[in-house]
Chains A and B, each alone.
Chain A
Amino acid sequence: MKKTDNGGMSRRTLLKGSAITAGFIGTQVVTGFPAVHADEPITLRYLSTATNQSPAIAAKAKEITGINIEYVTVTTDDVTKRIITQPDSFDLVDTEYFSLRNLIPSGNLMGIDAKKVKLVDKLATAMTKGEVDGKKIGDQGTAPHKVFYLEKQRGKEFAKEPTEWITLIPTTYNADTLGIRPDLIKRPIESWAELLNPEFKGKAAILNIPSIGIMDAAMVNEAMGKVQYGDKGNMTKEEIDKTIATLIEAKKAGQFRAFWTDFNESVNLMASGETVIQSMWSPAVTAVRLKGIPCTFQPLKEGYRAWASGFGLPKTLKGKKLDAAYEFINWFLSGWAGAYLNRQGYYAAVLETAKENMQPYEWAFWMEGKPAEKDIMGPDGGLLEKAGTVRDGGSYNTRMGAVACWNSIMDENAYMIQKWNEFIAA
């Protein structure tokens, strides 16, 4: 959690522009290997947050494709920072779609060749078209389909129509909502507005990652009828002011017990009973439940705040490493990894192949919202849910179909950060 690379930003940023460095490393990859070593296994440095990594997937990939996956683990914000300031420090990145508005103009990622991705036509329509089961879903914020294609491979503009150059090949996505302690609240919770209900004074929390926290705050404001947004994912200055004003008012009234910035903090707050209602992520809810403490990832009538992440390739990747990256991506979409992710409560990019790799009762529980026929095991084999339980929020179509907005970076991002700091200082 402690960030180790805060010191040398400016130095690195200076280095970043140095085409010499990039060119030098690029050349090494191509010509550096003597021919005798041609059959040596290739190692891909895989940059992402801890939630997107799992030793089991790396081990399976090694077994099937022979490619070594070397995980480079950093926080969400640091993934973005790395791509922008150290584009040569990884071979493959798993990053969120919402960061693309900063990543693509930097020119440090290259478009992925759709022709080399075998299952490109099978990618979930929630990602490619913003549709679930043929119906349009919430589009506010940086919905993946808005930033899915590039005009050209090394382009800095997003294409409006599908092209053969894809920004990120989806890995996982999900719909987030509030987590609650049903045993302590003891009544149904149906609206985002409940986060600021004085009934939970001193027992609520919101996450202190401004770009995501502001979206949760917007869902709350809209639910309370305080602000009507044009686009929650791209607010005007006035909308930002109003949103932050509500938060400040609630903070001064003592509504919040704490704010959290990382997964574990959110688990601890909820498990210890310091909070009973808060912004939360799906695996954090699972983690609380695994401690034997009741916790619900509560579906709410205003819908979900969704997010998605996917594989991107650094512009300097060449030769064997580039081929290996495509091979790995193709393997990743071929089902085993997708099934693994589905069992974690995330959603796989290609649903058909994931289904082939899951037991029918697992698929029915995770994806169709049916009561579990048998005990549901987590991907590591541990007991997750007893037979008879139903997944919070129900089926894939119900959950993803109820998406209201997507994580995003706003045009007024700098202003929003400034106002967010004002909220923290209030």
Chain B
Amino acid sequence: MLDEKSRWTPYWQAAPLAIVFLVFFVLPLAITFMVSFWTYTGYSIEPALVGDNYASAFDKCIDSLPDLCTTFRTYLSTLKFCLMVWLITLVLGFTIAYYLVFEIKSPTTRIVLALLTTIPFWTSNVIRMISWIPLLGRNGLVNQALMGAGITHEPVDWLLYSSFSVTLSLVHINTVFMIVPILNSMSRIDKSLIEAAYDNGASAWQTIWNVIVPLSKTGIAIGSIFVITVVMGDFISIGLMGGQQIASAGKVIETQITALQFPIAAANAIVLLAAVLMIIWTLLRFVDIRKEL
């Protein structure tokens, strides 16, 4: 009787979360996958099992090589942002976390400073982006300052609605996702390991590279997953800061949804999901998160 009961207890305990996952994650995903094989008109979608949507997602992709087709070009551009933003947020996140954990001695100061890094995140994503516009625009503050200082005579155009402004705003939005997990990993590093490294004659760089980085790997991996998934799926930042002129996988999907072409949008969503999963799978080759946690 008691045995019987305890055998089922873990299942009951896991059930609420499992149900939430099932209803709000697995089910919608399964439906998206299913709909990606349906056919559509401007006003209806019909159950079917056709690969047309995938075919048109990759329309002319093989034929037009070596020129890139729309989908490849879009993903290449998105991947480029992903890489840039990932590198910058990684360096920033690692440096900030390192400073907070190893340079700040008082725990109170550390907590206060850690909280400070989250302040920009108290306002909405969109507001944070829009606030760059008066700063970077053709008649914006930066251009006024540059011209006032006599550095340029003509306003600099590439500050806004460019790859630069997109990268800037994505870094601005995503750095905190890197800081927090790295901070978490680093603060669990046993300080005596670092002392031991110094005692054995390691330089500061050697200590960072051979002790701190390997022990922060989990945090770096988790932070990277956050940043990469957000950037891959982003279309609002790329749209607003890129002046809608820069394509993103998310924007393609959005355009198709507004045109009521749900099945092809679903197919593109599945393609995007596959791309993101491949990146994360590669990442997990290097770090076994499960083991480290």
B50 contacts the other chain (CB 8 A)? no
The answer to whether A81 and B260 touch (CB under 8 A), given A10-B266, A413-B42, is: yes
B104 contacts the other chain (CB 8 A)? no
Residues of A within 8 A of B161 (CB): 257-258, 274
- Tell me whether chain A's interface is mostly helix, strand or loop, or mixed: helix
B157 contacts the other chain (CB 8 A)? yes
Residues of B within 8 A of A417 (CB): 255-256, 259, 261
Residues of B within 8 A of A102 (CB): 42-43, 260
| Interface segment, one of B93-101, B183-191, B239-247 | B239-247
Closest to B244 in A: A259
Contact A256 B56, beta carbon cutoff 8 Å: no
| Interface segment, one of B132-140, B145-153, B224-232 | B132-140
Residues of B within 8 A of A1 (CB): 126
- State the interface size on chain A (CB cutoff 8 A): 46
Contact B258 A10, beta carbon cutoff 8 Å: no
Per-residue 0/1 for A386-426: is the Cβ within 8 Å of any B Cβ (1 yes, 0 no)? Answer: 00000000000000000000000100011001101110111
Tell which of B73, B161, B260 has the most Cβ of chain A within 10 Å. B260
Contact A202 B157, beta carbon cutoff 8 Å: yes
Number of A-B contacts (CB under 8 A): 109
Expressed in whole angstroms, the minimum distance between the Cβ of A71 and any Cβ of chain B is 21
Contact B44 A106, beta carbon cutoff 8 Å: yes
Residues of A within 8 A of B236 (CB): 2
B207 contacts the other chain (CB 8 A)? no
Contact A101 B244, beta carbon cutoff 8 Å: no
Contact A424 B244, beta carbon cutoff 8 Å: yes
| Interface segment, one of B1-9, B27-35, B113-121 | B27-35
Closest to A207 in B: B244
The answer to whether A106 and B262 touch (CB under 8 A), given A2-B126, A10-B28, A421-B247, is: no
Contact A261 B244, beta carbon cutoff 8 Å: yes
Contact B42 A409, beta carbon cutoff 8 Å: yes
The answer to whether A272 and B245 touch (CB under 8 A), given A6-B257, A417-B261, A418-B59, is: no
| A202 to B45 CA separation, bound complex (whole angstroms) | 40
| Contact surface of B with A, Cβ cutoff 8 Å | 28, 31-32, 34-35, 41-45, 56, 59, 70, 73-74, 77, 126, 133-134, 137-139, 157, 160-161, 236, 239, 243-247, 251-252, 254-262, 264-266
| Contact surface of A with B, Cβ cutoff 8 Å | 1-2, 6-11, 13-14, 77-78, 80-81, 84, 101-103, 105-106, 202, 208, 210-211, 251, 256-261, 268, 272-274, 409, 413-414, 417-418, 420-422, 424-426
